[in-house]
Structure 1
Amino acid sequence: MDVKTKRLFILSHCKRINKQLLSRLSTQDSSFHSFLMLNEDEWEMKFHIEKETIRLIKQEYRSYSFEELYTTYQKQNISFLPIFDEKYPSLLKEIPDPPPYLYYKGDIRLLDTLYHLSVVGTRHPTNYGQKALETVLKPLINMNWVIVSGLAKGIDTFAHEAAIAHGGKTVAVIAGGLNHLYPRENRPLANQLMEHHLILSEHSPSTPPQKWHFPKRNRIISGLSLGTLIVQAKKRSGSLITAYQALEQNREVFAIPGSIFDDFSAGTNELIRNGAKLVMDANDILEEFYLK
């Protein structure tokens, strides 16, 4: 690991440095060499941060041992991927606010292929939602599309499991760190993904998931893929947040329609009314990418 990556690795553990400040630091000095060299007055002038906060940031940075952390993660098979690494997914770099680094466990080569489809939806799907998802995903999986989702209960879980059941590959993006897998009941699935597929996080491994992490995580789910498929979502839901983030990222948005009497289809039906592509089978997705 080169010096620049080591510095970013340590900075990723500093709780007083958010992603916005880290981005500004990187813009100021992509090698992060000046990070500890600037005095408090220079910090205050360049980044508009109070001197006491600057002092605490530097103190926190110096409190970490790169060797100890890196050795611990190696034993856990956890790897660190900075945005300037060639293995960092090119599609994710294109979004307005790509994570400056990712932690991962599993097969990073799954990010090499272009053909990723993100899948999100309700945590409480009906039989219709499950069957519709299976119908749409199976042909895509058989064509080696990688399925991306968030390891949540419901549609996320079924999407990951469909990829595994049909001999495909899947990527999960989680809200907290890799040592805080959520929800608890999906830990066996998570272990399977870390062994044979891939799990990603934009947080250091010891970071517990917070409520605000989940909508932020969704931009990565959509950002990794050419398109996002919404399966059963209420009008106010995280799935719709993901859909609109995908639109902001200039990605395709697909939705499986449902009954006008079903609350869990109200969000997807509204997306279709507003321009998302109605999906009844895999060809509705494939034809958008000239693969039909």
Structure 2
Amino acid sequence: MLLRDFLLRLHLCKGIGIVGKSRVYEWLKQIQWRDDQIPTPSYLAAIANLHGQHTVTFKKSYEQLMQDDQVVAKLVDNEKWICIIDPEYPLQLRESYAPPLVLFYRGRLQLLNQWLLGVVGARDCTTYSVEILKYLIPGRVSNTMTIVSGLAKGVDTLAHQCAIANNGSTIGVIGTGLDICYPYSNQQLQGTISKDHLLISEYPNHTKGYRSHFPERNRIIAGLVQSVLVTEAKQHSGSLITANLALQNNRNVLAVPGAITSPLSVGTNELITAGAKPVLSDLDILEEYIHIGI
């Protein structure tokens, strides 16, 4: 079995999470892969540090996926995909925290080669985020970089829409299978992104949006981009998780300051206090890309 095919099947296994898969991949990088011999599930379970029911579930899933091509084909469901060992796989994501072994995608994969700006913020954002994005994105930002966000309600939706409306490019990173739209209100937007831009997910089709998937999706956004911009965020919000993941990956974290009386500016103001760059104009964003050759 080719290593690429093995990694796809490992990625599809149940009972093993993103950290366990990352441990296995790190181990694989240290050995000489043999197409005629695949590792035993018990050995991989030990490397991944699986215990109890997780080990049982993983072994059963692993044995089935390694032997049954039809099950694999059904899970892939004719979607296009790239593997972590493919040359098309983004280098910056490969070097980030727990990179996905496989990304399923629809649309223009070449957008991953552009300068990428992550835009995140509150789902229940105010008109302040609308004003921020209309002020910052059109023109020099939308002309020189691709906007990456998570296709959630609020700021994510606004960021994608703003990029599209200003003839820019955008990438949607979702926490479901590519065939599922969550929230459903973004069905048309998700369709546009998958057709004219780029839609990616680490989850196979028919995978619903479980709560744990959204922090996992956030790590992909943080790993893909060179900088993350936070417009509005409550204290301890998901947007701050993305910002912290970006910091762990040595990415630039940018935040828009807001009124100290606004609950949705507590998170962004605290980011600035902790060292994030305050953004007052599009030049503040562009400066972060000039030193890397934009």
Task: Give the TM-score band, short-chain normalised.
Answer: 0.7 to 0.9
Give, in angstroms, the shift of residue 29 of structure 1.
Answer: 3.9
Identity %: 36
Give, in angstroms, the shift of residue 69 of structure 1.
Answer: 3.3
TM-score under structure 2 length normalisation? 0.87
1:69 aligns with 2:71: no
Change (3 A) 1:52 1:261: closer
What secondary structure is seen at the aligned counterpart in 2 of 1:254?
strand
Kindly indicate whether the alpha-carbon contact (under 8 Å) linking 1:7 and 1:32 is maintained by their aligned counterparts in 2. no
Equivalent position of 1:279 in the other structure: 279
Change (3 A) 1:132 1:48: closer
Q: How far, CA to CA, are the matches of 2:120 and 2:34 in structure 1?
A: 36
Give, in angstroms, the shift of residue 55 of structure 1.
Answer: 4.5
Equivalent position of 1:264 in the other structure: 264
RMSD: 2.6
Kindly indicate whether the alpha-carbon contact (under 8 Å) linking 2:15 and 2:58 is maintained by their aligned counterparts in 1. no
Q: Which moved more, 1:95-104 or 1:48-57?
A: 48-57
Give, in angstroms, the shift of residue 141 of structure 1.
Answer: 3.8
Q: How far, CA to CA, are the matches of 1:124 and 1:203 in structure 2?
A: 26
Equivalent position of 2:84 in the other structure: 83
Q: How far, CA to CA, are the matches of 1:224 and 1:107 in structure 2?
A: 15
Change (3 A) 1:66 1:140: farther
Q: How far, CA to CA, are the matches of 1:230 and 1:280 in structure 2?
A: 12
Change (3 A) 1:117 1:34: same
Change (3 A) 1:256 1:55: closer
Please, which runs of 5 or more residues in structure 2 have no aligned partner?
none
Equivalent position of 1:38 in the other structure: 40
Kindly indicate whether the alpha-carbon contact (under 8 Å) linking 1:125 and 1:154 is maintained by their aligned counterparts in 2. yes
Kindly indicate whether the alpha-carbon contact (under 8 Å) linking 1:17 and 1:57 is maintained by their aligned counterparts in 2. no
Kindly indicate whether the alpha-carbon contact (under 8 Å) linking 1:26 and 1:32 is maintained by their aligned counterparts in 2. no
Change (3 A) 1:36 1:220: same
Equivalent position of 1:60 in the other structure: 64
Change (3 A) 1:48 1:163: closer
What secondary structure is seen at the aligned counterpart in 2 of 1:12?
helix
- Map residues 192-203 of structure 1 onto 2, 5 A cutoff: 192-203=192-203
1:23 aligns with 2:22: yes
Q: Which moved more, 1:31-40 or 1:204-213?
A: 31-40
Q: How far, CA to CA, are the matches of 2:232 and 2:171 in structure 1?
A: 21
Q: How far, CA to CA, are the matches of 1:258 and 1:215 in structure 2?
A: 25
Q: How many residues align?
A: 285
Please, which runs of 5 or more residues in structure 1 have no aligned partner?
none
TM-score under structure 1 length normalisation? 0.88
Equivalent position of 1:130 in the other structure: 130
Q: How far, CA to CA, are the matches of 1:44 and 1:94 in structure 2?
A: 23
